[in-house]
Structures are given as C-alpha cells and as structure tokens.
Amino acid sequence: MHIKKGIPVSPGIVIGEAYILENEEYLVRKKEIPESETQNEIDRFEKACSASVTELQSLVTDVNKKIGQGYSHILDAYIKIIDDPSTKSQIKKVIASDHFSAEYAVETVLKRYIKALMVLNDQYFSARVQDIQDIKKRILRNLFGAKKQDLTKLKKSIIIVAQDLSPSQTVSLDREKIIGFITDTGGRTSHTAIVARAMGIPAVVGLETVSVDISGGDILVVDGNNGLVIINPDEETLKKYRQMEKIFTNFEKNLTIELKDQPSVTLDGHKVRILANIEFPEEVASSLKFGAEGIGLYRTEFLYINTRTHPTEEEHFKAYKKAIDELGNKEIIIRTLDMGADKFETSEQAKEHNPFLGCRAIRLCMLRTELFKPQLKAILRIAFYGKNVKMMLPMIATVEEIRQVKAILEQVKSELRRSNVQFSDNLQTGIMIETPSAAITADLLADEVDFFSIGTNDLIQYTIAVDRINEKVAYLYQPAHPAILRLLQNVIAAGKKHNKRVAMCGEMSGDPLYTILLLGMGLMEFSVTPTSIPTLKKIIRSVTMDEAKKTCEKALTLKTSEEIRNFLTTRIKRIIPEAF
Ligand code: PEP
Ligand code: MG
C-alpha cells in the first residue's frame, strides 16, 4: 500500500482499477501468462524491438538526407538503448520468471529506469526520462501492433492515470466507464479540473510522478475530497473507503433530492441566486436537475474543442439555441470567446512567451475580429430569440476595451440591419472581473456595463502571480489570501454603489468553504459547477445574514490564508461535516 497526496479538484470517492493513459493511449494491463506462453511472449518482445530498431534506422537515413550527418546521434542512442543486452535480459526475466506479458514487462522495467532518473532531479537526466518514455512508447506500439486502445469501448470501470489530460481529452471520457482520474500535473482551476467537476468525475491532480508510480491493473482509491490516492490498499483501508464512498454518494444524492425545489434563502429570508457554469449546451439539463436558476457562465470557447476550423455564425447560433430551448425563460449569460493557453495547446497563444499575459480572451477577439464578429452576430440574434440572454466579456483590464467592443458591436448591428436579420437591440452586456486592474477600478468600469461577474480563477492567478495550472506553485494559489478578500470586497461595494449586479463565477463561488464569507461580503449571486448547487443551498439555508457578516468581519482581521481557512473550516464543518 502506498499513499500519495495531490490537489483535490473534483469531489467524491471511487475505488477501481488503474488504466495508464500514455500519450498514445496504450492500455498496459498487469497481465499474467501461463508458463507455456513465455517463449511466445519473448519472441513477440524481440520482434517489437527489431521493428522499433528498423523504424529508427530508416529515420536516421531520413534525417541524414534531409538535415545532414551529425543530427541523428540521438536516434543512434535510442537504437543502442533498445539493443542493450542488460535491459533486454531484465525485460525477458520479468516475462520468463515472473510470467507477465511482454507489454507489462517492458512497461515495468523501463518505468523503473525512468523513476531512477527522476530521483536524480537533474536537468540532463530529466531529458533522458523523455528519451526512455519515447522508446517505451515505440516498443509498446510495435507490441500492440497498429491497434490503439479505444477509450470509448471499455468493458469495465476504470480510473485514468495520466501525466496530463487536456480539457478535450477529459470531455471525451466515457462517464459510464471512467469513474475517476488522476494526473501528474495540473491545478484546481485548470480547465481539465473544471470539466471533471462538471462531469461529476472524482479527480486528483498535481501528483507529480503518479503516472510512473502506478502500473496498469493496480487497485486505486481516489479521494477527491482530500486529494489522496491510495495505491493497492490493504483490506482494512479498502473497507474503510468503501464505506466512505457510500456515505458521500448518499449525501450528495439525498441533498440533491431534498433541496432541488427549495428556494436558496438565508434563515432570515434573504434571497440568493444560484446559477450554473457550463461548457456545453448539453449540460443545461443536468444544471436544472441540480436546481440552477439559470446559466451564469457559458464558456463558449469549448465550441472550438475538437474542431479544426473556427465555428461559423450559424454553429454559434445553433449551440446557443440548443441551450435556450432547454432553459425556457431562464437566464443565460454567454461569455464571448476566452481562448487561453491552458485550453488550446495548438492555438496562437501557445507560441507566446507568457501566454496568460498575452493575447488571450478579449485581446485576441479585438485582434482577430473575423473570429469575434460571427460570435457577436450569433449572440445578438439569439438574444432576440431567447429574450433572457446576456453577454459577458472576459479578461477586461481597461475601460477602453469595453468601449472598443461596443464600437464593434455597433458595426455588427449595422451589418445585421443591412441584411434584414432580426436581433436584440438592447442586449445587456457585462464583464468578468478577473484582472487586478479591473477589480481595483470596478467603480470606473461600473458606469460602462450592466453587470459584473467575478472570475476568481484568473483573479487569483494574476493577483498572487501564481500560474493556475502549475502544481509546483499550487500552494500559493489561495482564494483566502487577504489580498483577494480585499479585492472582492472592493468589487462588491462598487457594484452596490453603482447599482450594478455582482455575481461570482470563478471556482471560489462553488467552494463551500467560502460561502458564508462571500454572503457576508454582500455577494448575492453565485454561478457554480452544477454539482455544487445542493451543498451551497444547504449552507445558505443554514445561516442568517447577520452571522455571515460577522464571519466576514472576523476573517478580514486575519493575516494569513491559513488562519482564514482554518477559521472558515470550523464554521462550515458545523453545517456540512460530510464534505470535509
Ligand atoms: C475565472 O477566471 O474565474 C473564470 C470563471 O473563467 P475561466 O475559468 O474560464 O478562465
Ligand atoms: Mg477566467
């Protein structure tokens, strides 16, 4: 048994078999073979090695021809490693003496090498880790033949173990069969984590070397509430977690049933709005099931996932219509394109030195109006169709940006008028408050817009200067940092003063730890991952505004995020002990 601690990003407890997702999606199972099969497995292994060497030799010839002699030494080194007698004999020993399949033997022995190199924590050896990973993948590909494991046709439930998962890989996971996932990299507000929460898949990220530590077929406990992964648990631990799994699932189920149709009001009668964040129109139905009053954030950039071309105006319109038809007259806030470095590895942003500080979101839209205009047209048209549609702009840092967008919006309206297309002429437009400059100047921005929605995921990363997807600095990523609390206070006060709605749609709004604090600050609108709605409602219905204000006042006197978190934990544990 072995326990690893990472970052909990999607709650729940699951127990299941590990499935190692190599970048090329090969499933390496811990498969035992009968004695009579061992020679056959050794032959398969030898053949896979020869095929890998032949591939590499032809690559060497190619490289020499195209770029000249001297550039192929890395490939020569690969060939030497594959042909190394000591490595080969170790792999064959796992097959012949331990009776494991060739795939599992390759995986186990080469992983041992990788682990040994990683322990050295040296730049030179880190690069060699990559080389051995490449070699492992090449031999495995030849062992498996051209056939790749198809994640959509799994026969039993599994837990995905990966170095990293992109949001697009996450959304294509089969919810029926994939019951949890764990990764080496990532942080709480990475879009992969957000998608996992939306899908209700328990997940732990930032586990550093977990994809190397675990082999396919290992039994895992994933505790998405506490960020723990237990590898091959003993009987007693397994029993304990099976019980916890049951308690948590029942808690969530009962809470949803109990609270779905109950209003979200405080004990002393203050109404609080709870809306849902979605990435796809298909999520509207489950948002309503969890009791959402509407959609407070529709992340439209996910329309770009898994497509090679940019969506057309009609494709935007169709997606929005799908959501609206499901919502009826309930509100939907469509956020314009927020292309970000952590969402699309192949986008232009990836080529920038500091993608998060570069041409992202509204900045990209202003630069690439051929992308932006079709979306604006589709939103204007759908607002005529849907009546309760609003638009929200991401990553606003200056008043000028809002004015520039408004000018483009007027141009787009003229174009629609000229084409005799019906659209809404009084579309309400709000902005996300997710840069420190916007939070500090909220009073100036308030005059220019209809509403604010605080995007804490980015606001925290930009305020504390901590990359939201980098697990190495995740300890610094603290919603409870006194600087964040002060900025939130400023934004909520500016909204109140200027009579503008203020909502919060960053992940902080769905974290039960902060609900009372935020209520006490005067936040009356929360837009959250649908699965968080019942818990939030339960908390809101258990406090008075007076209590919430006192909690907030006390929290604001504390100096460190740890003190604030501890203080809030004791408060919230009294209401929902099951969630902690
Ligand atoms: C945020 O930054 O808080 C937010 C909601 O936007 P995203 O997570 O899509 O960047
Ligand atoms: Mg954001």
Q: Per-10-residue mean pLDDT for the chain, 580 residues long? A: 87 91 69 90 93 85 68 77 92 93 92 82 68 83 66 78 76 78 84 79 90 89 90 92 87 83 95 94 88 96 71 94 95 92 50 84 92 96 96 98 98 97 97 98 98 97 92 91 98 98 96 96 96 92 97 97 96 78
| Cβ contact 193:205 at 8 Å | yes
pLDDT, residue 464, reads 98
Predicted confidence at residue 261, as pLDDT, reads: 85
Nearest ligand (C-alpha, residue 503): 1
Residue ranges of E strands in 477-573: 501-504, 525-528
- Give pLDDT, residue 399: 98
Alpha carbon distance 374, 218 (integer Å): 49
* Any atom of ligand 1 within 6 Å of the Cβ of 342: no
N- to C-terminal Cα separation, the chain: 24
The atom number, within ligand 1, closest to the CA of 299 reads: 9
Lookup: tokens for 263? 């209003």
* Closest listed ligand to the CA of 453: 1
Q: Which ligand is nearest to the CA of 529?
A: 1
The residue whose CA is least distant from atom 1 of ligand 1 is 455
Contact criterion met (CB below 8 Å) for 405 and 398: no
Compute the distance from residue 445 Cα to the ligand 1 centre, in Å. 19
- E strand residue ranges, 423-500: 428-433, 451-454
Is there an atom of ligand 1 within 6 Å of 434 CB?
yes
Q: State which of 334, 432, 507, 514 you would mutate to test the pocket of ligand 1, scoring each by most atoms of that ligand within 8 A of its C-beta.
A: 432
- Residue 510 Cβ inside 6 Å of ligand 1? The answer reads no
Cα 53 from chain centroid (whole Å) = 38
| Cβ of 197 less than 6 Å from ligand 1 | no
* Residues 539, 579 contacting (CB under 8 angstroms): no
Ligand found nearest the CA of 337: 1
Evaluate: CB of 456 within 6 angstroms of ligand 1.
yes
Ligand 1 atom closest to the Cα of residue 455 is 3
Give the C-alpha separation, 339 to 172, whole Å.
19
Q: Per-residue b/e over 435-468, b at no fewer than 16 CB within 10 Å?
A: bbebbbbbeebbebbbbbbbbbbbbbbbbbebbb
Q: Which two tokens stand for residue 391?
A: 């638009």
Q: Catalytic residue positions? A: 191, 505
State the maximum Cα–Cα separation within the chain, in Å, rounded to a whole number: 81
Instruction: Tell me the best of 338, 362, 508 to mutate to test the pocket of ligand 1, counting ligand atoms within 8 Å of each CB and taking the most.
Output: 338
Rounded CA separation 497/490 (Å): 10
Structure letter (DSSP) for residue 32: B
Output the CA–CA distances (angstroms, integers) from residue 507 to 277, 460, 526, in the order listed.
10, 11, 10
The CB of 360 under 6 Å from ligand 1? The reply is: no
| Distance in Å, CA 126 to ligand 1 centroid | 32
Dump the DSSP string for 193-248. Answer: HHHHHHHT--EEE--SSHHHH--TT-EEEEETTTTEEEES--HHHHHHHHHHHHHH
Nearest CA owner, ligand 1 atom 4? 455
**Does residue 457 line the site of ligand 1, with CB under 6 A?**
yes
- Please give the number of the atom of ligand 1 that sits closest to the Cα of 297: 5
Residue for token pair 């009053």: 293
In sequence order, what are the residues at sequence separation of 6 or more whose Cβ sits closer than 8 angstroms to the Cβ of residue 60?
72, 75, 76, 79
